[in-house]
Amino acid sequence: QVQLEESGGGVVQAGGSLRLSCAVSESIFSINAMGWYRQAPGKQREVVGTITSGGITNYVDSVKGRFTISRDNAKNTLYLQMFSLKPEDTAVYYCNAFRNNVLYWGKGTLVTVSS
């Protein structure tokens, strides 16, 4: 079973930056695709972006040009670099991993963007 642990959340002012990390319990070479999702208070969880094993990324329109997903295979870690943060980016951010037709989730890390 793949275990995921997010870190790097916190409180930041609008316009600021944060980098989230997602540590994976095993080699991410075996993971088909990984992604970041978020859930704002009172809203459904939504995709932020995804990255394939080949490094191809996709992002939701609201974060394009501001967020970047990357993966460090040597460290078994997924990253979400966030720039130009807005109050509407406030949410719990989750990473997930899709391997062998099973989707695994971390417990999330809270990002709060103050205006």
Q: What is the pLDDT along the chain (115 residues), one digit of tens a residue?
A: 899 999 999 999 999 999 999 999 998 887 889 999 999 999 999 999 999 988 999 999 999 999 999 999 899 999 999 999 999 999 999 999 998 899 999 999 999 999 9
Rounded-to-integer distance, Cα 25 and Cα 17, Å = 26
CB contact set of 17 (below 8 Å; sequence gap of 6+): 81, 82, 83, 84, 85
Rounded-to-integer distance, Cα 38 and Cα 54, Å = 23
The amino acid at residue 19 is: R
Nearest CA to 78 out of 36, 30, 107, 17 is that of 36
Rounded-to-integer distance, Cα 87 and Cα 7, Å = 20
